[in-house]
Structure 1
Amino acid sequence: MDETEEKIIKLTQNGIPLTPSPFRDIASSLGLTEEDVVTRIEAMQDKGIIRRFGASIGHRDIGIIANAMCIWNVPDGQVEDVGSTMASFEEVTHCYERPRCPGWEYNLFTMVHSYTREDCEEVAARISQATGIMDYRLLFSEREFKKTGIRL
């Protein structure tokens, strides 16, 4: 990684400017063109320096305060199909298969965010109905300790 790439990372790691032309603004501060900045970001992704470049919404800041990890006991032979169905729900932001552990029969995990606990419960009930998986629990977040990525 060269010095310019490091500067680009430092300028973007806490979020890009909320302006109509954020990459042009970054480029201007570095004496580059907007195309140079975008090309360098893409090259850093290709080299694996940047794993992904995406948006993150501060869901608590906009009132989405009910967060439920839905844990599901899915028969092993059905995980692919059931997981695809669960992931297709727009309310599901994450869907993961995890190994079962002794005393822990749950192997599929979905994360649901909403405005109320009741909304999360309703989403889980709809997912259960759509998949036929009745053995599930909801684990609600009580508080958020940290939400940041790696920083230079």
Structure 2
Amino acid sequence: MMTTDKETIIGRLVQRDIAMVRRPYREFAAQAGMTEQDVLDVIKRMLAQGLIRKFAAIVRHREAGFSANAMVVWAVPEDRCEQTGEILSSFSEITHCYERSPAFEGKYNLFSMIHLRNHDIEQTVEKIATVAGIKDYRILASEEEFKKSSMEYFA
């Protein structure tokens, strides 16, 4: 699908970091030489066309005060994946939760990312596992972050 010039301009702007201001779309409008309403209309159209799927924050967890994180892989029966994923997602400590196929090591099919301000990862994971009714899981601790960036589609 071809994009219009306005869509390309807006696409380039919204894929970058959004300013922490009261009206960020007004900032985009000033940069694009459009009105704020034009920017909103273009974004709505791009969402409707599937050119933009979602807006999401990328949290640089260490800068936000979260000193500990880990990926946790969970072995969950196929018929319980959706329900269990909803339970895991309800915990504020879990920032990402998704199903993977094929399963890691042949059995760990749900993945979640946990961020904490303290280092009680094991205790937190045990609490989550108990609530979700999961007995088989592995904690994969992060050792070093190499890259954290958003994909750029409108280069």
- Secondary structure of 1:68's counterpart equals strand
* TM-superposition CA deviations, 1:118-141 (whole Å, max 9, x none): 2x2222111111122121110011
Is the counterpart of residue 116 in structure 1 residue 118 in structure 2? Answer: yes
Aligned to 2:43: 41
Structure 1 residue 47: Cα displacement: 1.4
- Secondary structure of 2:53's counterpart equals coil
In the superposition, relative to structure 1, how do residues 78 and 29 fare at CA in structure 2: closer, same or farther (>3 Å)? closer
Is the counterpart of residue 70 in structure 1 residue 75 in structure 2? Answer: no
Aligned to 1:15: 17
- Secondary structure of 1:98's counterpart equals strand
- Secondary structure of 1:126's counterpart equals helix
Q: Which blocks of at least 5 consecutive residues in structure 2 are unaligned?
A: none
Aligned to 1:141: 142
Structure 1 residue 73: Cα displacement: 1.7
* TM-superposition CA deviations, 1:73-130 (whole Å, max 9, x none): 2233332332222222121112222235585321222211112332x22221111111
Q: How far apart, in 1, do the equivalents of 2:132 and 2:124 lie? A: 12
Work out which structure has the larger RCO, using CA pairs closer than 8 Å and 6 or more positions apart in sequence. Answer: 2
Matched to 2:53, the amino acid is R
Aligned to 1:127: 128
Q: How many residues align?
A: 151
- Secondary structure of 1:57's counterpart equals coil
* TM-superposition CA deviations, 1:18-77 (whole Å, max 9, x none): 222221122123332111101101111211222212322221212213221111122333
Q: How far apart, in 2, do the equivalents of 1:50 and 1:80 lie? A: 25
Is the counterpart of residue 98 in structure 1 residue 100 in structure 2? Answer: yes
> Which one has a larger percent helix, Structure 1 or Structure 2?
1
After superposition, the CA RMSD in angstroms is 2.0
Could you state the TM-score of these two structures normalised by the residue count of structure 1? 0.86
Q: How far apart, in 2, do the equivalents of 1:33 and 1:12 lie? A: 15
